[in-house]
Chain A
Amino acid sequence: MQYIFYTLAFFAILCALFVVFEKNPVHSVLYLILTFFSIAGIYVLLNAQFLFIVQLIVYSGAIMVLFLFVLMLLNLNKDTEPQKSVIFKTAGAIAAGSFLLVLVAVLKDTQQSTELSAMTDIGLVKQLGKTLFTKFVVPFEVASILFLAAMVGSVLLGKKELY
């Protein structure tokens, strides 16, 4: 059982590294999709079946396709990206590395809740739907306004004759 998790984790990290270090943007996008797939697998292990589906549909499906579209549209699928200077690269790597250290050091002490729940069905659509439409109904409605604003915003920005 735990091997599935470690395999997925290893796969996710590997693909994420490829996302960063791949020269060709299109390959990066594809690797990111693989990362998201592995994360979706971890969701299944975590009994979050609804999130698994949403991860596949929204992230791997919609969002990444949007990225691909933009790449194709702007014709950026060549690896002509200029490289940063070495100083910037080392500085970035050091910053990210120390960030990782600090994060792990801080989160290592996380106190696990003593009460281990036997509830295994919290990730099902029925359960989540109940919570979403009772306790979180206001944020849920507000989210629709956010979407509307984002939609209007991106249409406006994308228009040709903006100026």
Chain B
Amino acid sequence: MEKYFYLVILFPLIGFLVNGLLGSKMKGTTPGLIGTVAVFIPFLIALGVFFNYGHESQPILQNYFPWINIFDFQANFSILIDPLSLQMTLIITGIGSLIHLYSIGYMHDDEGFARFFSYLNLFIFSMLLLVLGSNLLILFIGWEGVGLCSYLLIGFWYKNEDYGYAARKAFVMNRIGDLGLIAGIVLLWSYFKTIEFQAMAIHAANVDMSDPVIIIATLCLFIGAIGKSAQIPLYTWLPDAMAGPTPVSALIHAATMVTAGIYLLVRAHFLFDLAPSVLNLVSYVGIATSIFAAIIALRQNDIKKVLAYSTVSQLGLMFVALGVGAYTTAMFHVTTHAFFKALLFLGAGSVIHALHGEQDIRNMGGLKNEIKSTYWVFLIGTLAICGIFPLSGMFSKDEILTVLFEKSKGLWALSLFSSLLTAVYMFRLLFLTFFGTYRDDEHKKSKIHESPMVMMAPLWVLAILSVFGGILNLPHLIGGESYGKMAHFLDPIFSHSKLATEHMDAGLEIGLMALVVGLVVIIGFVLYNIYVKKESLPKPDMSLRGVEALVANKFGVDELYDTVISKPVLGISRFFGQKVESAFDGISGFFFVAGFKSIGNSLRKIQNGNVEFYLILMTGSIVVLMILQFLIKI
């Protein structure tokens, strides 16, 4: 099975080429089917490899061809199959194929149907390259490819100028992170003289703690991760990225792309273990992002924006877990988050589809009875993300909280606050959307319709995964294996890790869980009272005052960046463009331009288009060349 693993990467690429080159000529849903199959087959292959991969199996390095080989720099085009990349591959292809299937229904009457699927396949291809690459350079190809695809997909409806702007914003923000990643790669290469993960891990074992080069390199990698995984200060692109079609949001901005940063940190954990100060920074950035985004989410009225900020917040939590060295826990949350966030986004897509493009939750309400199926899956997603027992989100989030409780009480308290905020904005979203009465025109209500089967099927699969996803890594005290299945599976990767988490008192663990679940349930009831019983509504944008207005305006971070960074840079550019350049033009124009112009004027007469003249010139030059060679030989 491992022999055919290259097909995992190849199939999405073929799908991209077929859809991209021939898609416009195909009829009906053919491009969608091709795209879905091109992702589903890799999923099956990865599944086969996964079941063959025992705990004792060695990581498989598959070397396809030497790529760059200059002096002592060597980069092969090779992939590394180990538990970590295998798990990521399963998430990407599994959730990816569900989202592809869903998109067939969601995008069915869009004129760019084939284009959409070719982009999606290209995205899956890049993401697979990112997680499977055995060295930093292959990872970097995938990293850039993912950035490109997010640009293409966010700006998919390119005729809308705002969407194009959002796409550009995502691209530019990602570039800032990419610069960090490039610097990190170069630094690591100059230090280790290799960019292969396995070789670096072996070398890293002999490196001192807090080696300055390692600290700077990990810092650079972390900047890359900040860009891709939308952390403070580079998070603003993610909420704006909701401009793309909803399946794109689910695929790129919830399930896969944003986890690239997490993946990078986990993959390079042997370096981060050597730099405790950077790990601390990771935690602080993570917790700050988590709370900050959660607060913003409280005041958003666009169904997708709420989910977007919740993604940023959850990613922050994962970074906190990474920061304290709980890599497995972070990966577990990545997995469950992929399940329920994809579910929520696709569910939101189903709501939008049902309401023919309406995204403002103030114009919804009472949809529980209109679109029952969507309501149920959305409810499951909400409960899962809030962490209600026994859904998947509860296990992963509680694992993070438990680890934090053990490492640092302060971080634990802040994370708990953040996850309670999660419950608040998610219940608010749920109640405002599905409960109460419909708040828009009656004649629009009559047009509401449930989404087709092709969209609901993936939703139900994701719902089941969201419910039972916790089984993947059951804690010991609820009948799990000694310390979690997934932890056991991922364990070989972290054998070098010096920050293994030991286990705590079972009673305390249960107590913590009960505390969180209890608080979430209380929040749920309070909000039910506010939004359903009293039917209070978010105020119109204009009437907001003070802090509320600030929060609704996302703390004005976009405006802040605009005034602090964009405007000065633009001003400087304008100054150089208009004043300095023209000054140089004046000086150089005087000396050089005139000179070159006259030379050019005289030389261009040679280019007269006359064949005979060219022939004579040619013969003459051959003669001159031969004479030169003749002379040089002597």
Q: How far is the CA of A99 from the CA of B613 in the complex (A)?
A: 16
Q: Contacting A95 at CB < 8 Å: which of B620, B626, B629, B630?
A: B620
Q: How far is the CA of A144 from the CA of B397 in the complex (A)?
A: 72
Within 8 A of B (CB), among A55-114: 84, 88, 91-92, 95-96, 98-99, 102-103, 105-106
Q: How far is the CA of A135 from the CA of B574 in the complex (A)?
A: 68
Chain B, residue nearest A105 (CB): B630
Report yes or no: A92 in contact with B630, Cβ–Cβ below 8 A.
Answer: no
What are the residues of chain A within 8 A of B626 when measuring CB–CB? Answer: 102-103, 106
Report yes or no: A106 in contact with B612, Cβ–Cβ below 8 A.
Answer: no
- What's the least CB distance linking A105 to chain B, in Å? 7
Q: How far is the CA of A105 from the CA of B630 in the complex (A)?
A: 9
Report yes or no: A88 in contact with B623, Cβ–Cβ below 8 A.
Answer: no
What are the residues of chain B within 8 A of A95 when measuring CB–CB? Answer: 616, 619-620, 623
What are the residues of chain B within 8 A of A103 when measuring CB–CB? Answer: 626
Chain B, residue nearest A84 (CB): B612
Beta-carbon contacts of B621-634 to A below 8 Å, as 1s and 0s?
01100110110000
What are the residues of chain A within 8 A of B612 when measuring CB–CB? Answer: 84, 88
Report yes or no: A99 in contact with B623, Cβ–Cβ below 8 A.
Answer: yes
Report yes or no: B619 in contact with A96, Cβ–Cβ below 8 A.
Answer: yes
Q: How far is the CA of A96 from the CA of B618 in the complex (A)?
A: 11
Chain B, residue nearest A102 (CB): B626
Q: Contacting A99 at CB < 8 Å: which of B619, B629, B630?
A: B619
Q: How many residues of chain B have a CB within 8 Å of chain A?
A: 11
Q: How far is the CA of A106 from the CA of B622 in the complex (A)?
A: 13
Report yes or no: A99 in contact with B616, Cβ–Cβ below 8 A.
Answer: no
Q: A98-B623, A99-B623 are in contact. Are A106 and B616 (CB under 8 A)?
A: no
Chain A, residue nearest B615 (CB): A92
- What's the least CB distance linking B226 to chain A, in Å? 57
Q: How far is the CA of A98 from the CA of B627 in the complex (A)?
A: 10
What are the residues of chain B within 8 A of A92 when measuring CB–CB? Answer: 616
- What's the least CB distance linking A77 to chain B, in Å? 23
Within 8 A of B (CB), among A101-153: 102-103, 105-106
Q: How far is the CA of A95 from the CA of B616 in the complex (A)?
A: 7
Q: How far is the CA of A103 from the CA of B613 in the complex (A)?
A: 22
Q: How far is the CA of A74 from the CA of B367 in the complex (A)?
A: 84
Q: A102-B630, A106-B630 are in contact. Are A91 and B616 (CB under 8 A)?
A: yes
Report yes or no: B616 in contact with A102, Cβ–Cβ below 8 A.
Answer: no
- What's the least CB distance linking B611 to chain A, in Å? 12
Chain A, residue nearest B610 (CB): A88
What are the residues of chain A within 8 A of B620 when measuring CB–CB? Answer: 95
Chain A, residue nearest B625 (CB): A102
What are the residues of chain B within 8 A of A102 when measuring CB–CB? Answer: 623, 626-627, 630
Within 8 A of A (CB), among B446-479: none
Q: How far is the CA of A91 from the CA of B619 in the complex (A)?
A: 10
- What's the least CB distance linking A69 to chain B, in Å? 24
What are the residues of chain A within 8 A of B630 when measuring CB–CB? Answer: 102, 105-106
- What's the least CB distance linking B570 to chain A, in Å? 53
Q: How far is the CA of A24 from the CA of B308 in the complex (A)?
A: 85
What are the residues of chain B within 8 A of A99 when measuring CB–CB? Answer: 619, 622-623
- What's the least CB distance linking B609 to chain A, in Å? 15
- What's the least CB distance linking B291 to chain A, in Å? 71
Chain A, residue nearest B629 (CB): A106
Q: How far is the CA of A21 from the CA of B282 in the complex (A)?
A: 87
What are the residues of chain B within 8 A of A96 when measuring CB–CB? Answer: 619
What are the residues of chain B within 8 A of A84 when measuring CB–CB? Answer: 612
Q: How far is the CA of A17 from the CA of B620 in the complex (A)?
A: 21
Q: How far is the CA of A106 from the CA of B619 in the complex (A)?
A: 16
- What's the least CB distance linking B612 to chain A, in Å? 6
- What's the least CB distance linking A137 to chain B, in Å? 31
A residues touching B (Cβ–Cβ < 8 Å)? 84, 88, 91-92, 95-96, 98-99, 102-103, 105-106
- Given contacts A88-B613, A96-B619, A105-B630, could you give 15 more A-B pairs where the C-beta distance is less than 8 Å? A84-B612, A88-B612, A91-B616, A95-B616, A95-B619, A95-B620, A95-B623, A98-B623, A99-B619, A99-B622, A99-B623, A102-B623, A102-B626, A103-B626, A106-B629
Sampled A-B contacts (24; CB under 8 Å): A84-B612, A88-B612, A88-B613, A88-B616, A91-B616, A92-B616, A95-B616, A95-B619, A95-B620, A95-B623, A96-B619, A98-B623, A99-B619, A99-B622, A99-B623, A102-B623, A102-B626, A102-B627, A102-B630, A103-B626, A105-B630, A106-B626, A106-B629, A106-B630
B residues touching A (Cβ–Cβ < 8 Å)? 612-613, 616, 619-620, 622-623, 626-627, 629-630
Closest 6 CB pairs of A and B: A95-B619, A102-B626, A98-B623, A99-B623, A91-B616, A95-B620
